[in-house]
Structure 1
Amino acid sequence: MARQLARGMGSFFKDCGCAKPTRCPHPYMIRFRDALGKQREESGYGTQDDAIEHLTQLYAEKKTTAPSVAAARRELGQQTVEEYAKQWRPRQRRMTEYSTGEHVDSSINVHIVPRLGSRKLNSVTPIVIERFLDEMESDGVGRGNQVNIFRALKTILRDAYAKGAMADDPVKGVQEPEYVREKVAIPSLAYVKRRCSSLTRTSRWRLP
């Protein structure tokens, strides 16, 4: 059931044997040749668009990158988000253990890993991140927490992108969650004085 794309790009398919594979919940697989000419397969793509997008990225990288460099980047891109996050965290020496670091650890362990941990770095795209944000919203995660979680994820993925794990920036164009703090009204000094004076008069009338 494999559908061939443009010559040299590879193909995507489902290896499930379902009667209607385009409607079944099983993930898509992709088949392609890497920069060294070796045929490879990867799975875990939820939609045809995800599979085609990644094949396009791989094809563009293969045409513009030296084989040895492409091979090294591909090896890094095969790591999962969870694996990379565990390697990334100890390198963040500027984080204090009991403030920023504690919040980042919570974002990684409670939200990022359960939702994205098993995904390979090179399969993370802006569409995947937008779905991640939608899931947090559906699960009732507060906007303030969403902002912190997204910033932690963005930092991790941008670090991986800078090292060549992905062909394109995985958070490019993704709109960051917005959190607007409630405004606290501070009464004027004149209002406080009037209020205190009113309370004092009321208390005098209640004296026995």
Structure 2
Amino acid sequence: MATVRKRTLPSGKVAWLAGYTDGGGKRRFKQFATKKEAEAYLLQARSQVASGVHTPDSVSPTVAEAAELWLQRCERDKLEATTLRQYRTHVNLHIVPRIGATKLSRLTAPGVNAFVDQLLADGRSREMCRRVLVSLSAIVTEAQRRGLVTVNNVRSASPVKRSTRDDARPEMPTKAELKAIIEATPDKWRPMILTLVFTGLRGSELRGLLWEDVDLRKGVVRVRRRVDRFNAFGPPKSKAGTRDIPLPPNLLRVLKEWKLACPNGKLGLVFPNGNGGIESHGNILSRVFWPIQITAGVTVMRDGNDEQGRAVKVPDAKFSLHALRHAAAALWIEQGLGAKRIQSLMGHASIQQTFDRYGYLLEARDDEAAMMAGIETGLLS
């Protein structure tokens, strides 16, 4: 039997108590400030009980408890160490400190919106808020799977919109800067830099690239694995990350020559360290890409010190390694590839991801073979 009755608290204030019987035959009660709120809750609870999906507040875990269950599931599923580390950062630094004590059954869409607003007010970027929200939704989904909560209100919350400002666009070198970088690249590192520019590989995919993944006869790079920051091999970031990328003619020639000079190692890596092992991301930046940019004059002025310790402005490398991936996409788009093909070549999980990052560059054209040759002609001639 479902009832709403008035209750006078010891403080003298009036409250309204909603009472009902759950799916297990147990009597449940919940208190509200107004009769209208109690009746609305009772109507919802009775409907959920009838559908067999009701979770009383008293048995609902907190967000913190549900987050730990989710992380345990991620560990059990043997996600990559870097992914687990990122998820724990979302939970420990952003989610638990703000809403960890909230019961999942009381996590409403407006509450989630307020949580995001708080993150933004605390100086978190929109991209960080978007990722944290994805983790929060996964936490609630796992709780649903366990029967600990009825609905995932995170999905009903307002999405975090990406900034439309120009400075939110992917950071990438111009064609003039790319040409300067290529011209300044020593022969030893030329195969690596050209591969990044003309294939759009992620740094982790480049570091995990094996010669067995490079078909020098057909002129194709097959992305089948990556290496994380702990030098552990794993599959690409998503199912879409498994892809084939055609090689333009000059890069194909460079890779054929590089295979003869490449340090040998038991792993068969295309771009190993001097001992044939996995090269670290930090070494590629500090020993290769950053010095090349300094030599090429592709720099920005940053705070530093002179030999006497005085504060001065000094030139520093302008771009991260990931900027070459964005540049590859821009070059493909300039040559006329459409959004779906860009999505495929970049290994994006959704077409929306492609539009979010490169929508301002996209336009439709044809002739992919001519495009691949055309990219090289502009930069290597």
TM-score, normalised relative to structure 2: 0.38
Aligned counterpart, 1:62 = 49
Change in Cα spacing, 1:159 to 1:42, as seen in structure 2 (3 Å) is: same
- Do the aligned residues in 1 keep the contact of 2:57 with 2:105 (CA within 8 Å)? no
In 2, the alpha carbon distance for the partners of 1:155 and 1:105 equals 13
Report the AA paired with residue 90 of structure 1. Answer: Q
Report the AA paired with residue 138 of structure 2. Answer: T
**Residue 155 (structure 2) aligned to one of 172, 186, 191:** 172
Aligned counterpart, 2:93 = 110
CA RMSD of aligned residues (A): 3.8
In 2, the alpha carbon distance for the partners of 1:14 and 1:141 equals 44
Aligned counterpart, 2:26 = 38
TM-score, normalised relative to structure 1: 0.64
Calculate percent identity across the aligned residue pairs.
20
Change in Cα spacing, 1:42 to 1:60, as seen in structure 2 (3 Å) is: same
Q: CA deviation at 1:49?
A: 8.6
In 2, the alpha carbon distance for the partners of 1:84 and 1:55 equals 25
- Structure 1 segments unaligned to the other structure (5+ residues): 1-6, 22-27, 197-208
1:162 matched to 2:145? yes
In 1, the alpha carbon distance for the partners of 2:113 and 2:134 equals 13
In 1, the alpha carbon distance for the partners of 2:8 and 2:135 equals 33
Q: Secondary structure at the match of 1:33?
A: strand
In 1, the alpha carbon distance for the partners of 2:6 and 2:111 equals 18
Deviations 1:136-191 (CA, angstroms, capped at 9, x unpaired): 12222221211111111011112222333333331233232133543435333499
Aligned counterpart, 2:79 = 95
Greater relative CO, 1 or 2 (CA 8 Å, sep 6+): 1
In 2, the alpha carbon distance for the partners of 1:148 and 1:101 equals 13
Aligned counterpart, 1:188 = 175
Aligned counterpart, 2:128 = 145
Aligned counterpart, 1:17 = 11
Report the AA paired with residue 59 of structure 1. Answer: R
